Every structure is written in C-alpha cells, then in structure tokens.
C-alpha cells in the first residue's frame, strides 16, 4: 500500500489541489483494501473494473496495484463530480495515477452494456455503489458476461439486506465459487440457529424462510465483503433456479 493511501487512512482526510480539507467517509477500510490488493496480486489481474469511486479510496488501492504492471483501471461513478466534488479524481491525481484510470461519470446500467458491446473483458471487478438489489443484479449480469473464467468479482456491503439476499442467489451459481471473504464468515447464533432444526420437518421449505433452511454462514457469506471466482461459462439451463 502506498504511503499516500496509508496517510489518508491514518488522517481519514486529505488536502485537495484547491487547498480544501477533504474528510473521507463511506470508504473501503484499510484491511479490505489490502484484501482487494491481495486478490489482484494472487490472480495477476490486469483488466480491472470498479463501480463506486467517491473519494477514491478503493480506486486508489486497486489502481496502484495494477499500475505497477502498466495497466489501467476502469471506474464508474455517476456522481463523482456532482456528489463528491471530484475529490476521488483529486486523490488519484495526487498519487500521480490520473492516467492509470479510465473513468466514466455515468450510471453503471448505461456504461456496462457499452463496455460489453465493445467486447471488453475483465479479470477483477469491485462493486461498492448503490445498495439496491435490482440495480446490483443488473450490474452483476453485465459484469458476469465480461468476466473471464478465473476472474474474481467482489461486492462490498453484504450487511445491507438487498446485497445479502442477492449474494444468497449468486453464490449458488454453478459457474461461480466462493473465493474469499473479508472479514471472516461468522457463525450464526441465537434464535435463527435454535429454530434451524425445523428445516427437517415435512414441507419446511414452504413455511420456513430460506435463510433458516440454509443460513448465510453455511453459504459462506456471513461477512461484509465477498469475493466470487468465475470458474467457467454460464451453462445453466433456461429453467435453473435455487431458492434464496
């Protein structure tokens, strides 16, 4: 991790080129950034994409890793200038990495189909944007089409119910497997565990929520940040389904 990123984590702020103190929030934390960087190193990823720029913390972490090998990182954020006053771009400029990003200030549902049409491929994707189930399902749909087998897709914020629910589905896709989580997958305790024996009752699937029948811990996703590896092409039958 670069000295600049380290200093931003310590101060949770940086001073932009206009001399304004930018107080960082909503950022990917230091250890999670290290987790992302480790995946990129382990996978030797060179074609990376991210949704959610904001103050540029995860973007800088990813970009500094791929730029070491002369690669550029694609980043999408509809509100970088309007909502975040361009401070993510400022941070990348301070790191001397402005030319190492390909930035789109647009909604992801506009840009992702364009990238697909251009025949772009990726081997690493990080999604840290909206928390809406349907929007993220659409993002995953397009990213999956562009992710190469062996590539890894990482979502932040599984503590949000929409994202957790989405991942209960995605982790069961036959062409994906769990690659890693940050922090660790925590065991489910308490009431949910106590009633889990009910799943053995007849017709339990009809009356008991899928979360009790197959809990998030058993799915391996009871965490905040989850990485899935694409292990092949999507060969599901047209009527494939898993309860989630």
DSSP labels, 94-163: HTT-GGGEEEE-S-HHHHHHHHHHTT--EEEEEE-S---HHHHHHHHHHHHHHEEEEEEEEE--TTSHHH
C-beta of 1 vs 208, nearer to ligand SAM: 1
What's the closest the beta carbon of residue 127 comes to ligand SAM, in angstroms?
Answer: 9
**Cα 61 to the center of its chain, rounded Å:** 13
What's the closest the beta carbon of residue 123 comes to ligand SAM, in angstroms?
Answer: 19
C-beta of 219 vs 224, nearer to ligand SAM: 224
| Structure tokens, 168 | 């209960």
CA distance 239 to 27: 39
| 138, 203 contact by CB (below 8 A) | no
Name the 3-class secondary structure at 192.
helix
Contacting ligand SAM within 91-120 (CB under 6 A)? 107-108
Residues in contact with ligand SAM, shown as a per-residue x/- string from 28 to 67 under the rule CB under 6 A: x----------------------xxxxx-xx---------
Q: How many residues bind ligand SAM (CB under 6 A)?
A: 22
| 230, 151 contact by CB (below 8 A) | yes
Which listed range, 71-79, 160-168, 193-201, 208-216, lies at the site for ligand SAM (CB under 6 A)?
71-79
N-terminal to C-terminal alpha carbon distance within the chain: 37
Check binding of 171 to ligand SAM (CB under 6 A).
no
Check binding of 135 to ligand SAM (CB under 6 A).
yes
Number of neighbouring beta carbons within 10 Å of residue 135? 17
C-beta of 60 vs 170, nearer to ligand SAM: 60
Check binding of 77 to ligand SAM (CB under 6 A).
yes
Check binding of 129 to ligand SAM (CB under 6 A).
yes
Binding site residues, ligand SAM, CB under 6 A: 26-28, 51-55, 57-58, 76-79, 83-84, 107-108, 128-130, 135
């Amino acid at each position: 991790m670069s000295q600049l990123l380290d200093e931003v984590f310590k101060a949770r702020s940086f001073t932009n080129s206009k001399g304004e103190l930018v107080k960082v929030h909503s950022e990917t934390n230091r250890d999670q950034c290290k987790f992302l960087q480790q995946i990129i190193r382990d996978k030797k990823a060179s074609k990376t994409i991210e949704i959610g720029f904001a103050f540029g913390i995860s973007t800088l972490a990813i970009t500094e890793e791929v730029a070491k090998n002369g690669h550029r990182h694609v980043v999408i954020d509809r509100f970088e200038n309007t909502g975040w006053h361009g401070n993510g771009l400022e941070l990348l400029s301070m790191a001397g990495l402005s030319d190492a990003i390909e930035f789109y200030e647009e909604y992801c549902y506009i840009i992702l189909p364009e990238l697909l049409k251009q025949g772009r491929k990726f081997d690493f994707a990080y999604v840290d944007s909206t928390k809406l189930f349907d929007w993220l399902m659409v993002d995953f749909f397009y990213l999956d089409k562009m992710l190469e087998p062996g590539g890894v897709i990482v979502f932040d914020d599984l503590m949000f119910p929409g994202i957790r629910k989405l991942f209960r589905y995605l982790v069961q896709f036959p062409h994906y497997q769990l690659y890693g989580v940050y922090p660790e997958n925590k065991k489910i305790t308490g009431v949910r565990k106590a009633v889990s024996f009910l799943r053995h009752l007849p017709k339990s699937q009809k009356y008991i929520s899928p979360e009790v029948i197959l809990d998030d811990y058993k799915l391996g996703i009871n965490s905040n940040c989850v990485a899935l590896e694409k292990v092949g092409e999507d060969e599901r039958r047209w009527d494939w389904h898993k309860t989630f």
